[in-house]
A = this chain, B = another copy of it.
Amino acid sequence: MIEEGDRVLLVGNGRTYFVRAGNGDLSTDLGILDLGQLTGTTPGDQITSHRGSSFTIRIPRPADFFAHARRSGAPMLPKDIGLVIGYTGMNHRDTVLDAGTGSGIAAIYFGGIAARVDTYEQRPDFARLAAANILDAGLENVEVIPADVLLANGKYDVVHFDLSITPAHVEHAHTLLNPGGYLACYTPFLEHLFAVLDTAQGLFEEVQAHECIEREMTRSPRGTRPSTRICHTGYITIARK
């Protein structure tokens, strides 16, 4: 049941609104919605605008936070977060360390999977925004720690870095990992990839660097072809202790 303050998606007429149950109105081109109606509803229920248009209520999923949550910068794409999960086999038994948190999107994905996630973010304003996003996602197993990840201690099954990486980060990750655990580093630039590989190759058991070129396939009456645009996002290095 949806409670006051919960994040909710309203879906109607091909559009999606990311709102909060409680006081206030939402103006849409299909009329005004009283968001107070949302409290006490169940996902799948509908609410109606003053002009009689219906909107379906949904609980946002991680990809919805990627699409709609407030951002402090460019978060990793769902495909790259998914690759980290796939390469590391992240699962409900895992304790995960994540840094830098940024907008908290990766932490929301990981928090929906792992037993516990500690996510480090040095910038206090980013950390506050991420904590708000994570709270909206209803996750109680994710802690945002407003500090340099080089100060982290404890033991983790997966360490994930999306930050300006240095050899010290790779070395520190090695001390934080349980045996058999994985370090995953996301680096947009080749120079950072090189730094990660040069440090990890001497330290970890298995090290692999992946580039994943993703294309959308489009199909229309004209024909089928790869979309004319493809994005390079970053290299993902996976190192197992």
Given the known inter-chain contacts A81-B86, A86-B82, A179-B58, please indicate yes or no for A193 contacting B212, CB distance below 8 A: no
At the interface, yes or no: A209 with Cβ under 8 Å from chain B? yes
B179→A56 contact, CB < 8 A: yes
Residues in B with CB closer than 8 Å to A92 are 92, 112-113
The one of B11, B225, B231 that contacts A190, using a Cβ cutoff of 8 Å: B225
For A188, give its contact among B9, B223, B232 (CB under 8 Å).
B223
Which of A188, A191, A227, A230 has most chain B Cβ within 10 Å?
A: A230
Does A215 touch B at the CB level, under 8 Å?
yes
Residue of B nearest to A209 (CB): B217
- Asked if A194 is at the interface of the complex by the 8 Å CB criterion, the answer is yes
Cβ–Cβ contact B209 & A232, under 8 A: no
Neighbour of A80 across the interface among B64, B78, B86, B217, CB < 8 A? B86
B210 touches A216 (CB 8 A): yes
A5 at the interface (CB under 8 A from B): no
Interface residues of A (CB under 8 A from B): 9, 11, 14, 43-44, 56, 58-59, 61-64, 77-93, 109, 112-113, 178-180, 188-194, 197-198, 201, 205, 208-219, 222-232, 235
Subset of 17 A-B contacts with CB under 8 Å: A56-B179, A61-B89, A62-B91, A63-B87, A78-B89, A82-B83, A82-B84, A82-B85, A83-B83, A85-B85, A86-B109, A188-B223, A188-B225, A190-B224, A212-B213, A217-B235, A230-B232
**A contact face: mostly helix, strand, loop, or mixed:** mixed
**Contact with A112, one of B61, B89, B218, B226 (Cβ below 8 angstroms):** B89
Are B213 and A230 in touch, CB under 8 angstroms?
A: yes
| B211 with A79: CB separation less than 8 A | no
Given known A-B contacts A82-B82, A228-B231, A91 and B61 have beta carbons under 8 A apart: yes
**CA–CA, A194 to B205, complex, Å?**
30
Given contacts A93-B112, A209-B216, A211-B215, 4 further A-B contacts (CB under 8 A): A89-B109, A191-B224, A213-B213, A213-B214
Inter-chain contacts of A197 with B (CB < 8 A): 217, 219, 224
Evaluate contact between A191 and B223: CB separation under 8 angstroms.
Answer: yes
Q: Is there contact, CB below 8 Å, between A62 and B80?
A: no
Residue of B nearest to A83 (CB): B82
A86, A91, A198, A209 pick with most chain B CB within 10 angstroms: A86
